Structure 1
Amino acid sequence: MPIDLHSGPPAEAVATYPQYEGAQRAVDRLSDAEFPVSHVTIVGENVRLVERILGRLTTPRAALAGAGSGAWFGLLIGVLLGIFAVSAWWKVVVFGLVAGVVWGAVFGAIAHAMTGGRRDFTSTSTLQADDYLILVDAEYADEARRLLSTAAP
């Protein structure tokens, strides 16, 4: 049955997998068989956002996270400026690192305080789908089915 993705030619579902990794392996098998994989699409069905709460976010924790980010940025700037320093290049690098830590901590704390307590937690987000379809342009679908049915899992 052709599926309209609102762009490109009509496509047909040739396989369904419960995990993304299975769909990815199937496309890899097609690629290994020199199938024109530019005609393949992986579509997640019944997608949902899952947000896992990691912990409470306090102003000190926000400042610490900002200090970490600022340290990397300060180190980068210090190294870039240190390249052009004639003498004592390491002082420029250390100054960049320290300035990055201080300003990162200040901005992290201010940014958290400005939320007014509306989001006092840290989290990670992932997208999950119930199934992953392998869609192939209709003119190539039969060949993809044949290759996937004969390929080793």
Structure 2
Amino acid sequence: MTQLHMGVEAPVVVDRRTLVGYDNYAAAQRTVDALSDAGFPVENVAIVGSDLRMEETVTGRMTNGRAALAGAGSGLVFGLVVGAFLGLFTSTTLSFFVLVLWAGLWGALMGAAFGFLNHFFTGGKRDFASRSAIVAGRYDVLVAASHVDHARAVLDGGARPADTVVVEPPASAGVYDPAAQRPIAPEQRRP
């Protein structure tokens, strides 16, 4: 059997632990920002929203006229973009601007017609405008299990690890002489 490889890698599963949980996204974002400001490796952090729900906020009443006006605005923008693109192939500046304006006008007229007809044929079943958003009831800040103790220490104001590591030099490195400002090489053995 032949297996097709589409170049999509399986996601890497990381063992994450909950560091803190909040009721709003801004608080979770502030926590990640505090970790980042303290030098914590934030590539090991995730904000996960749970208890998702869809919220639809009504922005106003929708009438045939308002639908036509909204359609005209969308059509105008579309017409201007198409007109500008086609205008690139004209020979004079005047013909460019005339083409852009005509395309904008026709776009606005067609958009208004489609907006009006689209709302008219709903038969009054949806006479309001709205916008939708998916929001979470809870936001958890998760950290890779290998870094969770370090993250807790950073949030608790504990000492963070130093940027440098003290390494004992090998015996073959010699001793540093501050007066001479250079290392003194160890004596070499003679056979």
> Does TM, scored on the shorter chain, surpass 0.5?
yes
1:48 aligns with 2:53: yes
Q: Aligned residue for 2:108?
A: 101
Q: Aligned residue for 2:71?
A: 66
Question: Deviation digits for residues 62-117 of structure 1, max 9, x if unmatched?
Answer: 11101011111111111122222112211011011101101111111122233333
RMSD over aligned Cα, in angstroms? 2.1
Question: Deviation digits for residues 31-56 of structure 1, max 9, x if unmatched?
Answer: 33343323222122323222221222
Q: Aligned residue for 2:4?
A: none
- Among the aligned pairs, what percent are the same residue? 44
Amino acid at match of 1:117: G
- Greater Rg, structure 1 or structure 2? 2
Q: Which runs of 5+ in 2 are unaligned?
A: 1-10, 159-191
In the alignment of these two chains, the number of paired residues is 146
| CA contact 1:15–1:145 (8 Å) conserved in 2 | no
Q: Hey, what's the Cα distance between the residues in 2 that align with 1:86 and 1:63?
A: 35
Q: Aligned residue for 2:23?
A: 18
Higher helix content, 1 or 2: 1
Query: For the structure 1 residues 115 and 149, does the alpha-carbon distance in structure 2 shift closer, same or farther, using more than 3 Å as the test?
Result: farther
| Deviation, structure 1 residue 7 | 6.7
The alignment's TM-score, normalised by the length of structure 2, stands at 0.68
Q: Aligned residue for 2:127?
A: 120
Amino acid at match of 1:128: V
Three-state SS of the structure 2 residue aligned to 1:35 is coil
Query: For the structure 1 residues 139 and 71, does the alpha-carbon distance in structure 2 shift closer, same or farther, using more than 3 Å as the test?
Result: same
Q: Hey, what's the Cα distance between the residues in 2 that align with 1:28 and 1:86?
A: 54
| CA contact 1:66–1:105 (8 Å) conserved in 2 | yes
Three-state SS of the structure 1 residue aligned to 2:105 is helix
Q: Which runs of 5+ in 1 are unaligned?
A: 1-5
| CA contact 1:59–1:112 (8 Å) conserved in 2 | yes
